[in-house]
Structure 1
């Protein structure tokens, strides 16, 4: 029985074709990357074929078709051009037309880098690499010499996107907004610490949404006027109701929230309150302090918490009066969550939800050391924020974590979460 040609010459799958190309390249001693490597040659062929296709569309006839274009415009040779790609430098031939009206889109005039390389540079910057490290990485891996000034120009292109992101419309209702600060070093005359504030919200669907980034002012970045401006901005972007705001005792913030969102409850972050307490104590006393404070913030009610705090004060005030004073001053913002059930307590008594994001941002900030100005610091943090879970793989896990809490919020806050879902 004679096999049909189609069964003998069955088409190769993409994986099989790639495997054959790699095997052939290795057998011939051809490098996969770098100048004259297999990937560079493939890039050259693909780009040049795409440019020929663009010129076909521009002229209205194929390369080997007789007749030419209706207006008499024809092909007029090619010009050599060197472009930087993820595989290194690639020499391509760009086709031309006689009228000079052909404007390629894939590799535009005066463009020296494929978009993919720009995306790679922005991605590396978002992961915390400095401009010098990115330049060295591209030179070592791809043989592409990209100066630090060019890298800075590429990353500056995200500023327009950052402005759009910072001013985008927001949901009408958020069950919880976490507010926290990251200190960065900014060289403004002299290097000094400046706070960058971030607001992370839980939506009515149980997903997380970073609402914005704001640089603190010199010295009074935590005043009521500052926070009035921030929350007024959120309201102007569409936020009509916030159930609870969790923060680290930021000065002036409760007053500002009361003015802009009078129904919102302000809750102090318990983890931050504990950390601040330990700053006043000898390290050897930390375990005992933690043990004696736990009955206070796990008490079933505010009256029970007051009893446990009185016991704590009797034991520790003579040795650490500053800790007792710290909790006394924070008591009004500490106690609200004690009135709610365990589902709500478990998610609002700490800023763990925001700490995981802050950890990624801090890695990017530490890699820079210090920034020349406020805009450079905001750009670095924005890139780090945009690199978080870009595929949304953590969305389901985040939603599942908040499902019971959102139901509890809806009952406790008289259906305001359901109103936000409409």
Structure 2
């Protein structure tokens, strides 16, 4: 068994330990993916002779924190010397994952008020959203979908089936004399 399998087996009985383990693994995976993305962009591995005197090289990293469903993770985004590298792994300028936003949209579409949604999210995730923020998120996510629905191309032919029926319950009674 590898280390991840051992750690997950030990953490199975405690929800906090599982979330902590998954948060650490997610953080490591995202950071490794960003490093790999920079390596692919530059065309050579770290400390490789191929990169000497190429005009562009690794130039440290900047750090940012992102909220995920497992907790906050610290991301180390690498940079290149010329500033041409743009990572595509994470969305730009986002401080949290879309899990909360998707939940807001689902609750809003079910008819839950913005104040109730804000209270639920604060109780469940510890993230504070004001009712105005909940309203803005729902507008931001729903309005493009509504506009796309209105601008969709319609078929030239429509078929309609019209049914009309009347049901009259009759009771059959037999009279015996």
Same fold (TM over 0.5): yes
Partner of 2:10: 24
Alpha-carbon contact 2:11-2:18 (below 8 Å) kept: yes
C-alpha change, 1:85 and 1:29, in structure 2 (3 Å) is closer
Tell me which of 146, 150, 168 is aligned to 1:166.
150
Runs of at least 5 residues in structure 1 that lack an aligned partner in the other structure:
1-10, 170-236, 245-264, 271-296, 300-307, 309-422
Tell me which of 75, 78, 89 is aligned to 2:58.
75
CA RMSD of aligned residues (A): 3.5
Counterpart secondary structure, 2:77: strand
CA offsets 1:82-126 (integer angstroms, 9 cap, x no match): 112222322222222222222222223322223444334333433
CA distance in 2, matches of 1:241, 1:65: 64
Partner of 2:30: 47
Tell me which of 148, 157, 160 is aligned to 1:240.
157
Higher strand proportion (structure 1 or 2)? 1
CA distance in 2, matches of 1:134, 1:70: 55
Alpha-carbon contact 1:52-1:95 (below 8 Å) kept: yes
CA distance in 2, matches of 1:298, 1:29: 57
Tell me which of 118, 128, 137 is aligned to 1:145.
128
Higher helix proportion (structure 1 or 2)? 1
Tell me which of 49, 67, 79 is aligned to 1:96.
79
CA distance in 1, matches of 2:49, 2:136: 45
Shift of 1:81: 0.8
CA distance in 1, matches of 2:47, 2:68: 30
C-alpha change, 1:69 and 1:86, in structure 2 (3 Å) is farther
C-alpha change, 1:62 and 1:162, in structure 2 (3 Å) is farther
Counterpart secondary structure, 2:17: coil
Alpha-carbon contact 1:51-1:95 (below 8 Å) kept: yes
CA distance in 1, matches of 2:38, 2:136: 30
Counterpart secondary structure, 1:80: strand
Partner of 2:174: none
> Rg bigger for which structure?
1
- After TM superposition, the structure 1 = structure 2 runs for residues 6-405 of structure 1, keeping only pairs within 5 Å, are 20-25=6-11, 31-33=17-19, 37-68=20-51, 71-155=54-138, 156-169=140-153, 237-244=154-161, 265=162, 267=164, 297-298=166-167
Runs of at least 5 residues in structure 2 that lack an aligned partner in the other structure:
171-177
Aligned pairs, number: 168
Alpha-carbon contact 1:131-1:151 (below 8 Å) kept: yes
CA offsets 1:174-227 (integer angstroms, 9 cap, x no match): xxxxxxxxxxxxxxxxxxxxxxxxxxxxxxxxxxxxxxxxxxxxxxxxxxxxxx
Alpha-carbon contact 2:105-2:141 (below 8 Å) kept: no
CA offsets 1:315-351 (integer angstroms, 9 cap, x no match): xxxxxxxxxxxxxxxxxxxxxxxxxxxxxxxxxxxxx
C-alpha change, 1:109 and 1:60, in structure 2 (3 Å) is same
Shift of 1:147: 4.0
